[in-house]
Amino acid sequence: MFKQSIQKKLTVLFSMTLLMVLMAVSLITYMQMSRSIERQVENEAVTVLQEVSRYTERYIQEHVHQLQLLANDPRTLTYVNEQIDAGSSDVSGEVLGQLAGYGQLHPNIQLSYVATEGRTIETVPTVDLPDDFDPTTRPWYELAMASPTEVVWTSPYVSIEDGEIVMTVAKAILDERGQAQGVAGIDMTLNDFSDILGSIEMNYDGAIFLFDREGTAIVHPTLLGETVTEDELYGQVIQATSDSENGRTDGESTILFFQTVPLTGWIVGMEFERDNMLKDVNTVRNGIILVSVIALIVGMMIVILVARSITKPISRLGTHVGTVASGDLTVDVRAAGNDEVGQLTESFKEMLVQLRGIITTVKGSTAHVQEAADHLTAISEETIASSEEIALAVRDVAIGSTTQVEHLDEAKRQIDQLARQMEQMSLSMTEVGSLSNETRLAGQSGSEKVQHLKTKTLEANTVFDQMEDGLLKLSDHIMEINEVIHTINHLSEQTNLLALNASIEAARAGEHGKGFAVVANEVRRLAEQSSHETVRVGDTITGIVNRSKQVIVDMKQARSILSEQSDSVDETENTFLHMASLIKQMNETLASVQEDFGTLAEQNSQFVKRIEAVVEVAEQAAATSEEVNASTDEQVTALQRITEAAEQLQEASHELNQSVRQFQTESESNS
């Protein structure tokens, strides 16, 4: 899950980054190309509109010039004056011929005419007009009379007869005083003009339109002759004072370029469909999208490979950490590179080597402590057994002393019958001699036992010294382990701090730093796990140190007891020596009694005194035996406490051995 999670996050992160970059490149390219084409179209439209405007002015100006020549011709003025005065004119044919010739030169001229203030009108070609037709009421006549010095024209309109667009151009005819006497005018069709403008081919299927000041379409692909002032887009064009206006028409997005023809005030413009303008851009956009999709797929494959190269060492290190956490220290950790993960792996490898050496040392020390504890237990058991034997021997001595006292009391009571019972006394003395020998032998045996106990006590002291040295060395090794654990914990804290700093720097990097933030969080989690494990090991070591200190205290108590036991053994040895001396004296006395048996009667009183002395000595021997017996019991109790301390030491050593047994080192795996 860890590997898949990191790999998925890196793949999504870099894929989204690559997708955003490709989308940004596509969008920027599309917008720049769109603006470039719009600028190109705008420049082309401005150039074409300037040419169309000049062409429109030339087209209108040509007829304006001809009409000015006609209106300013003296024959035209003469014709008008004669028509007004007499109703006829001699120059009528010339004027009409001039109009006819002008009409032949310009096929777009539908009708040429001259109207007078006398309500007469002559047309070329001839048109049947009603008798009550009054030309002075026509719009073109009134417009020309309103501006007598200028050539005027009406708004284009659709002819009822043939549906063509017609425009009237008129000029007032002035006399010598500058008074208007009539109007010369022509009706000209704009179809040829419209066809010429409509035939201009534009890039991106652009179309030319021409509106007069009232909004009548003079040139337009679909609205020819219609008024467009109600149209939302064209209405804005007519009222606008800027050079361009964007809008929609016929349900499609369009762009318009227009300008005003100075001579006529007409609006000439060009209309482009955005779809046609951006056709090539859309083709390029589709190509960019295709390339972006391919690049995204290739990029995702590369990102997956890169993510695997990053997560594989981390996953491998996680597996090693789990193996070590389970107690197997024989794992072979190898760094796969020199990057941060490789450095972390190398540091973990060094920590593992140090921990392996520490565990090996602890195991060796534990084995030595276990062996010493077993040896101490065995010695304690042997000492207890010896002490019990000494206690039995001392009890026998006490029993013998008590019996001796009883016998001496009996001898004292029967001293008066000594003479009569000499033979019986001889037997009694023989028995006393036998008992004295037995007492001597028991004393010798007790002395030997005490000497053996003294030797065992010295051996126990030696073992206690060795155990104390071993425990001190074990404590030193444990303290070294504790220092290494503190070093490992410090490294874990430093690693955690570095991971935290890396997370902060990744957060500052924003979107580009998320992948590094995820890696830093995983490294910090590993550092926290390592710190937790070192805390556990530290707690175990602390327990071992405390138990070792308690064992040392118990050993010191045992040594103190053993010292007291040694003093008691010395006193017992002295007592046995003294008792042996007394027994020797008693034997000598018995020998003297047997040698001086003949003079026993005379020395009866002295014998009584000696018997009393012997009784006193026997009582002292009995008391001494009881004291030795009590000392022996105390010694047994002390040895039992030593045995209990040895068992506690053995139990602590066993617990320590169980704690370190979960760690497997190379030497154990090889064996």
Express each pLDDT in 587-635 by its tens digit.
677 667 666 656 655 666 665 666 666 667 667 766 776 776 677 777 6
pLDDT classification of 50: cutoffs 50, 70, 90: confident
259/396 same-domain check:
no
269/388 same-domain check:
no
Residue 339 belongs to a domain: no
Which candidate, 637, 633, 566, places its Cα nearest to that of 394? 633
The CA-based dihedral angle spanning residues 366, 369, 374, 375, taken in that order and rounded to the nearest 10 degrees: 150
Query: Which of 229, 260, 276 is the last residue before a domain boundary?
Result: 276
Query: Which of 276, 295, 315 is the last residue before a domain boundary?
Result: 276
Mean pLDDT, residues 85-114: 75
259/390 same-domain check:
no
Q: Could you report the per-residue pLDDT of 116-167, keeping only the tens digit for each?
A: 888 888 888 888 888 888 999 999 999 999 998 888 988 887 777 677 888 8
103/227 same-domain check:
yes
In this structure, the strands spanning 207-211 and 180-189 are unpaired
CA–CA separation, 291 and 591 (whole Å)? 134
Residue 234 belongs to a domain: yes
* Token pair for 44: 């082309």
Q: Is the peptide bond before 107 cis (omega within 30 degrees of 0)?
A: no
pLDDT classification of 183: cutoffs 50, 70, 90: very high
Greatest Cα pair distance in the chain:
228
CA angle 565/569/572 to nearest 5° reads 135
- CATH number for position 101: 3.30.450.20
Residue 18 belongs to a domain: no
- CATH number for position 462: 1.10.287.950
Q: Could you report the per-residue pLDDT of 505-526, keeping only the tens digit for each?
A: 666 676 666 676 677 677 777 7
**Which domain range does residue 655 map to?**
384-662
Residue 287 belongs to a domain: no
In our burial notation (b when 16+ CB lie closer than 10 A, e otherwise), range 430-444 reads eebbebbeebbebbe
487/624 same-domain check:
yes
Q: Could you report the per-residue pLDDT of 553-584, keeping only the tens digit for each?
A: 777 776 677 677 777 767 776 776 776 676 67
Query: Which of 276, 298, 316 is the last residue before a domain boundary?
Result: 276
Residue 122 belongs to a domain: yes
Residue 12 belongs to a domain: no
Residue 651 belongs to a domain: yes
Number of domains the chain contains: 2
Cβ contacts of residue 597 below 8 Å, gap of 6+? 422, 426
pLDDT classification of 668: cutoffs 50, 70, 90: low
* Cβ count within 10 A of residue 581: 11
CA–CA separation, 184 and 172 (whole Å)? 6
390/253 same-domain check:
no
SS3 271: strand
Does residue 275 contact residue 285 with C-beta atoms inside 8 Å? Answer: no
Question: Which one has a higher pLDDT value, 277 or 271?
Answer: 271
The residue with tokens 């011929």 is: 97
* Cβ count within 10 A of residue 558: 25
Residue 570 belongs to a domain: yes
For residue 443, what pLDDT is reported?
65
